[in-house]
Amino acid sequence: MSQNVEREEVQAILEAMDDGLEASRPVEVQPRNFRQPRRLSRQRLQYLAQLVNATLQGVCHDVASPLRQHHKISLASISEVNVLGLFEGYEPPFVVDIFECGGHVSWILWDSAAAAASVETILSGPPPVEPEPSEDTESEDEEGEADPAPSTPPEPVARRLSASECRVIEALLQKILVPVAKALGLETSGSRLAQEPEELTTLEDCGPDADPRRLMLHFLFEGPGAPSDIRIYLPDVGEEDPVSETEEEHDEVTLPEHLEQVSLGLSAYLGSVDVPLSELMELEVGDVIPLGVEIDSPVDIYIEDRCCARAAWGTHHGLQAIRVLELNTHPGTIEQPEEEL
């Protein structure tokens, strides 16, 4: 039986059918414990993760200075959790930085051994690196006895930090916390390092009305010593994006890329006065020309020949300046300056 469909056309039809089946498959449902309600959707968590990831390059740069070497910090996961019983079974010595954020107690949890290795690196420098054997040494080893394998640095050991070491760790953790919280629209205050159960401030200490919901940020910190986990528990940031209305309006009027370098003339129009030619010819240095406006009168700002704003006259860092008071003034509401002849 003859057919008028080419092999390539059959393949295209099959691929189209596969795409249709893929689109019709049900969306995967994540398991939820409805005894612990959640307010953040998956899309919201993905958006918050993008905000945090955008800050990590700067965080790594800030942390590299005290640690004297660049160490990668990456966001492993972000989720909404319930912190009731967060420290149950937590054995000392541990490292928990306690701080306030939005009026709620919050925490940073870090592996004690990794914290000890980091503070030793900050105070004493990184451990010495064994030099690689040269070719001459290798040839001598072939004739004689083989040298033992180079020693590896010892594994970091968990221990209690001294008071000065605690301050060092607090400063290091703040270099991670502050930019991350700022990216989420949050402000933090206070910092206190706890290493024993009696030093902890738990959610149970905040009373029965304390909100148990927290946004948990799980970071992977690669060194020094060995990779470790850093977990930050922040208050629930809600469903609204941490972007002000002004920034949203600014995003709506963003210029196309090909217009960004176009230059426009911006001028501040203080006032005008008609001067007879006879008086104009008699002007001398030191003469005063009244403009007919009060000192506190608004200043009109023009882009090219169109009034676009009103401003107030003043100074800024010792220089004369104007402060914008009103934008998008309708054309014609302010008298246009006369064109120069």
What pLDDT, on the 0 to 100 scale, is given for residue 51?
Answer: 92
What pLDDT, on the 0 to 100 scale, is given for residue 98?
Answer: 93
Q: What residues are paired with 81 via a beta bridge?
A: 214
In this predicted structure, the answer to whether residue 312 has a pLDDT above a threshold of 90 is no
- Residue 83 domain boundaries: 37-125+156-235
Within-domain flag for 18? no
Considering the domain architecture, whether residues 192 and 331 belong to the same structural domain is answered as no
Task: Output 259 or 66, whichever has higher pLDDT.
Answer: 66
Interatomic CA distance for residues 84 and 203, integer angstroms = 6
Within-domain flag for 242? no
In this prediction the pTM is 0.57
Within-domain flag for 16? no
Considering the domain architecture, whether residues 86 and 178 belong to the same structural domain is answered as yes
Q: Across all residues in the chain, what is the average pLDDT?
A: 78
Q: How far, rounded to the nearest angstrom, does the alpha carbon of residue 179 sit from its chain's CA centroid?
A: 5
Within-domain flag for 134? no
Task: Output 340 or 70, whichever has higher pLDDT.
Answer: 70
What pLDDT, on the 0 to 100 scale, is given for residue 91?
Answer: 86
Edge-to-edge, what's the strand order for the sheet holding 266-269? 266-269, 299-303, 306-316, 319-327
Task: Output 250 or 63, whichever has higher pLDDT.
Answer: 63
Q: Phi-psi category of 89—alpha, beta or left, where left has phi over 0 and alpha has psi -120 to 50?
A: left
* CATH code of the domain in which 61 resides: 3.40.1550.10
What pLDDT, on the 0 to 100 scale, is given for residue 278?
Answer: 85
* Other CB atoms within 10 A of residue 188 CB: 18
In this predicted structure, the answer to whether residue 294 has a pLDDT above a threshold of 80 is no
Tokens of 23: 């689109």
Interatomic CA distance for residues 302 and 336, integer angstroms = 9
Query: What is the DSSP secondary structure assignment for residue 257, as one 8-state letter?
Result: G
Interatomic CA distance for residues 147 and 4, integer angstroms = 76
Q: How confident is the model at residue 245 (pLDDT cuts 50, 70, 90)?
A: very low
